[in-house]
A and B are shown apart, each in its own frame.
Chain A
Amino acid sequence: MADRIGTTVDSVDHTRPETLEDASPSLAATRSPRVTGGTPSDEHAVILELSDVNAYYGDFHAVDSVSLPIREKEVTAFIGPSGCGKSTVIRSINRMNDLIPTARIEGAITYHGVDLYAPGVDPVEVRRRIGMVFQKPNPFPKSIYDNVAFGPKISKYSGDMDELVERSLTRAALWDEVKDKLSDSAYALSGGQQQRLCIARAIATSPDVLLMDEPASALDPIATLRIEELMYELKQEYTIVIVTHNMQQAARVSDRTAFFSVDVKEGQRTGRLVEFADTATIFTNPQHDETEDYITGRFG
């Protein structure tokens, strides 16, 4: 059960929109067709803002005070050694951690200015707008078609379902490979195809943010590059946040990179954000020695 979990926002700005509907009545209106290439632009509006986010599992302080903005229609990558909290942070963005009974988030995560942990915010609606793709492809034991149509059916989509399925599969760069076998089981697809199916499933509910937690780590190099190329296409329309163990992948696909590290104190491992900058800076001239040591393979 996704109960609301604790928040400690000191001051509430009452001019901010109170609900997700107020926040972005027309998402289409905020989408510009501009293509940016690999260099991020400060003109892209901040769509998600993490402010002083602390994550706990019971008494265990998993993530210490993370603040960073995520801009729309960019790829933001989280990198860092195991246990640095990057997965915890990405899961907190669409309230996946609500599903873990001992998990607790302090601080604020705002989406279009709305605090995602405010009372009255429906976590199901949060997850519809902020979709997620996981490390291991996890298609439902259903046909290819039904996998994509599943979410829209649940949210009582009233448009042309065939058209929506085709559009979602096309955007996920899978349509041409599956259009003649839509009723086949999703399990008949290769790993890379299954992952693109999961991406199609995630975008079928019209999210505007896609969270990807190690989306290519179970795939072979060619399937990995296809996912990366797909991310480049998808960011024309969606905001993407990716967690990856593969630094080179972060370098290739992202506009901005957040490097997390981990402190070990009295046996407790607490993750923290070390450096957040545009990806070219992180990989050519990082400002922190810890970042330099990690990306050059001298630590972690």
Chain B
Amino acid sequence: MESAFDTRHHYDDELDDIRAALVELGSMVAANIRRAGVVVTEGRLNEVDAVIGADRPINARYHDLEEKVFTILALQQPVASDLRFLVAATRILYEMERSGDLAVNIVKQVRRLDGVPTDLRLDGLVLRLSDASARMFDHAVEAVATMNAAIGIGAEQEDEETDTVTGDLFTAVTERQDAIGLEACVALFYIGRFFERIADHGVNIAQHITFAVTGEFPDGDG
């Protein structure tokens, strides 16, 4: 049962708790991102407030976890892989919290689309974009859950789909600007931009895990 190096169980438990809590927070954010996608593409105005409301516990959890990580940094003097993980955790927390805010920003655009005819709302593209963005984010949460360095290494390539669909959406919006009006154009630009940013945060999260595991940040402009 005992070995000469069998030490610091309590500290190990604290680190495990942080990782588990990051996964839980990431799952909460991912659920709200998917819901935001449905609210936008199906024009569910009555669910806008629910998405906004669901961001509050995300923010509370974010602050709580940030304080826990800060305290561990101060009290446990982490080094090597522990230090990398905790520094990565503070960055991941920020990326997750921002992604949650972006989901809120997305649903806030829905009201601006209210008068736009269904066939001109570009729902197909928005749906593809929200799916690609949510998948990227899910994959990032999986990287945290499994401490899988490979996901971060391939993340930028994986994210190319989001960038492509975002480009397609912007082109389509520009072509329809006379038909749908300026306000709807702006809303769709924002929606495209926010989903794309969420996917970028997903890429960053996976890359932070790569750094935590390997000590090297993946190549690319991250």
A283: which B residues are within 8 A, CB to CB? 74-75
Q: A245 interface residue, CB < 8 Å from B?
A: no
- Nearest first, the 9 A-B pairs at minimum CB distance are A225-B7, A251-B75, A283-B74, A232-B10, A284-B74, A176-B2, A280-B71, A248-B77, A229-B7
- Chain B residue numbers with a CB within 8 Å of A279 are 75
A-B residue pairs in contact (CB < 8 Å), sample of 8: A38-B14, A173-B2, A222-B7, A226-B7, A229-B9, A229-B10, A252-B77, A280-B74
With an 8 A cutoff between CB atoms, is A177 at the interface?
A: yes
**Complex alpha-carbon distance, A60 and B41, angstroms:** 81
B29 → chain A closest CB, angstroms: 26
Q: Mark B1-18, 1 if CB is under 8 A from A, else 0.
A: 110111111110010000
Any chain A CB within 8 A of the CB of B76? yes
Complex CA distance for A173 and B6, rounded to whole angstroms: 11
Given A229-B8, A284-B71, 12 new contacts (CB under 8 A): A38-B10, A176-B1, A176-B2, A222-B5, A225-B7, A225-B8, A228-B7, A251-B74, A251-B77, A252-B11, A280-B71, A284-B74
In the complex, A283 Cα to B74 Cα: how many Å? Answer: 6
Interface residue from B2, B70, B77 paired with A284 (Cβ < 8 Å) = B70
A interface vs B, CB < 8 Å?
Answer: 38, 173, 176-177, 222, 225-226, 228-229, 232, 248, 251-252, 279-280, 283-284
Interface secondary structure of A, over-half rule: helix
- B-side contacts of A248, CB under 8 Å: 77
CA distance A229 to B6 in the complex (A): 9
Q: Which of B5, B8, B75 contacts A38 (CB 8 A)?
A: B75
Which of A173, A176, A226, A252 interacts with B76 by CB under 8 Å? Answer: A252
Which of the four size classes fits the interface of chain B? 10 to 19
Residues of B within 8 A of A173 (CB): 2
Contacts of A222 in B (CB 8 A): 4-5, 7
Q: Which of B1-42 contact A (CB under 8 A)?
A: 1-2, 4-11, 14
Give the CA-CA distance A132 to B84 in the complex, in Å: 38
Given contacts A173-B2, A176-B2, A177-B2, contact A252 B75 (CB under 8 A): yes
Chain A nearest Cβ from B78, distance in angstroms: 11
A residues less than 8 Å from B4 (CB atoms): 222
Shortest CB–CB separation between residue B181 and chain A, in angstroms? Answer: 52
Q: Which of B65-102 contact A (CB under 8 A)?
A: 70-71, 74-77
CB distance from A294 to the nearest CB of B (A): 15
Smallest CB separation, B8 vs chain A (Å): 6
Q: How distant is the Cα of A279 from the Cα of B72 in the complex, in angstroms?
A: 11
Chain A residues lying within 8 Å of B70, measured Cβ to Cβ, are: 284
- What chain B residues lie within 8 Å of A251 (beta carbons)? 74-77
Nearest-CB residue, chain A, relative to B76? A252
Q: Which residue of B lies closest to A247 (CB)?
A: B77
- The CA of A29 and the CA of B11, in the complex, are separated in Å by 30
- In the complex, residue of chain A having the shortest beta-carbon distance to the beta carbon of B7: A225
Q: How far is the CB of B74 from chain A (nearest CB, A)?
A: 5
Contact digits for B56-70, partner A, Cβ 8 Å, 1 yes 0 no: 000000000000001
Q: Which chain A positions have C-beta within 8 A of B8?
A: 225, 228-229
A173 to B10, CA, bound (A): 15
- Nearest chain B residue, comparing its CB with the CB of A190: B4
A228 to B70, CA, bound (A): 21
Within the complex, what minimum Cβ distance (angstroms) separates A199 from chain B? 15
Query: How far is it, in angstroms, between the C-alpha of A38 and the C-alpha of B17 when the chains are bound?
Result: 13
Bound complex: CA A173 to CA B2 (Å)? 8
Which residues on A sit within 8 Å (CB–CB) of B14? 38
Q: Which residues of B contact A38 (CB under 8 A)?
A: 10, 14, 71, 75
* Complex alpha-carbon distance, A280 and B76, angstroms: 11
CA distance A252 to B1 in the complex (A): 24
Residues of B within 8 A of A252 (CB): 11, 75-77
Instruction: Kindly state the separation between the CA atoms of A177 and B6 in the bound complex, as whole angstroms.
Output: 13
> How far apart sit A226 and B2, CA to CA, in the bound complex (Å)?
10
Which partner residue on chain A sits nearest B73 by CB separation?
Answer: A284
Q: Determine the residue in chain A with the shortest Cβ distance to B14.
A: A38
Find chain A residues with CB under 8 A from B10 CB: 38, 229, 232
